[in-house]
Amino acid sequence: MIPTILSIAGTDPSGGAGIQADLKAFSALGGYGTTVITALVAQTTTGVSEVHDVPPEFVRSQLDTLLTDVRVDAVKIGMLSSTEIIEVVAAAIDTYRLPNVVVDPVMVAKSGDRLLAADAVEALRTVLLPRADLITPNLPEAADLLGEEEATDLDRMRDQAERLLALGPRRVLLKGGHLSGPTSTDLLLSADGDVETLTADRVNTTNTHGTGCTLSSAIATLRPQRPTWSQAVRDAKDYLTEALRHADKLDIGKGKGPVHHFHAWWGN
Ligand SMILES: Nc1ncnc2c1ncn2[C@@H]1O[C@H](COP(=O)(O)OP(=O)(O)O)[C@@H](O)[C@H]1O
Ligand SMILES: Cc1ncc(COP(=O)(O)O)c(N)n1
User: What pLDDT score does 83 carry?
Assistant: 98
Query: How far is C-alpha 38 from the chain's CA centre?
Result: 14
pLDDT in tens, 173-226: 999 999 999 999 999 999 999 999 999 999 999 999 999 999 999 999 999 999
- DSSP-derived pairing of the beta strands 195-201 and 32-44: unpaired
| Type of residue found at 159 | D
How many other C-beta atoms are found inside a 10 Å radius of the C-beta of residue 260? 22
d(CA 57, CA 61): 6
Contact 210, 41 (CB under 8 A): no
Ligand 2 contact via 213 beta carbon (within 6 Å): yes
Give the residue-averaged pLDDT of 114-128. 96
Catalytic pick among 10, 18, 31, 210: 210
The topology under which CATH files domain 4-266 is: UDP-N-acetylmuramoyl-L-alanine:D-glutamate ligase (3.40.1190)
- Do residues 258 and 207 lie in contact, with contact meaning Cβ atoms separated by under 8 Å? yes
Give domain limits for the chain.
Answer: 4-266
Residue 266 has pLDDT above 80, yes or no: no
Atom of ligand 2 nearest to the CA of 11: 1
Give me the catalytic one of 16, 31, 177, 212. Answer: 212
Residue 217 has a pLDDT of 98
Is ligand 2 within 6 A of the CB of residue 210? yes
Say if strands 134-135 and 195-201 run parallel, antiparallel, or are unpaired. unpaired
Q: Mean pLDDT score of the chain, rounded to an integer?
A: 96
H-type alpha helices, the chain: 18-28, 56-67, 83-95, 121-123, 139-146, 154-165, 211-222, 229-245
